[in-house]
Chain A
Amino acid sequence: MSARRKCHLRAPGAGDLAEAELVDELSKDDLIRAHLDWAPVRLMALKRLHEAKLPWPEHWHWDWSKKADMLDLLAYRCMGIEQDGRMQGLMMLSTIAAKGRLKAQEGKAVLYIEFLESAPWNLRALVEAPKFLGVGIRLLEAAIALSEEEGFGGRIGLHSLPQSEDFYRKYMTDLGPDSSQSQGLRYFEMSTEQMHNFLEGKKP
């Protein structure tokens, strides 16, 4: 059974913080519901971008309902941030330890983030005025917490789409393009020191 923990998102429109909940283990139904909620909003936003001849976000085709079957396996876990009954962000994690690649933590267990996405109404790439900011930060915090809980020392790693590289470069070490990854995406890893800096400095 999933547990819920209060967290906060920045709500620029309201000029304040909004209370939200981190749901630490989502079900397949949760993912399908989130997809049904997000898909029409994403389509409308893509239509607007298309008409304005603006670039689309690289992950525009992600469909969380198609990732739901991953949750049949212990090897995957999905977390989300819910606010007012709607998912504001989703994160799929591999709970099978990946091997650390940073020199200081080479070979040590790292929690690998498979997918991380904010709801379409929170993405600057899709809407002019995002409803909530800080969703990615909250999800990274949750990944660090799970990494600690799993005995991985808070270490996390991921491959980033090019449009998100600048975001991850602020908090993690860029280890360059990974030839073993099917799309050759750049691999990012957070060291223990970076984790402490991140947790201390990135509260809303």
Chain B
Amino acid sequence: MATELTKRTMTLNLTDAEMRVLELLSSQKDLSKTAVIRQALRLYQLLDNRLSKGEKLFFEDTAKGEKAELMLMI
């Protein structure tokens, strides 16, 4: 029912290592490579927005009782 919005095409230059990671994520997540890149962009913008407002990002390992702030230069 939803219709696709207008899309634009670009060429993405990746190193072999970056392409391997993209292919691995695409396979693991059962998503196309384009969908993985879109996900990354959405997440990057969301994190940038929250961090720019002074919020912090933490990773927590409840089993080990460890919590560490992730410092991102974005």
Q: A residues within 8 Å of B by Cβ?
A: 1-3, 5, 7, 22, 24-25, 72-75, 79, 95-97, 108-109, 141-142, 144-146, 149-153
**Contact assessment for B1 and A96 in the assembled complex, using a CB-CB cutoff below 8 Å:** no
Is B20 an interface residue when CB atoms closer than 8 A count as contact? no
- Minimal Cβ-Cβ distance residue in A for B28: A107
**Total of A-B residue pairs, C-beta within 8 Å:** 64
Interface string of B9-41 (1 = CB under 8 A from A): 000000000000000000001111001001101
- Minimal Cβ-Cβ distance residue in A for B1: A145
A sample of 5 inter-chain contacts (CB < 8 A) reads: A22-B2, A72-B49, A75-B43, A142-B1, A153-B30
Q: Nearest Cβ distance between residue A62 and chain B, in whole angstroms?
A: 22
Assuming the contacts A7-B1, A145-B2, asked whether A75 and B45 have C-beta atoms less than 8 A apart, the reply is yes
**Contact assessment for A73 and B2 in the assembled complex, using a CB-CB cutoff below 8 Å:** no
B5 touches which of A3, A5, A72, A153 (Cβ 8 Å): A3
A96 touches which of B3, B32, B39, B49 (Cβ 8 Å): B39
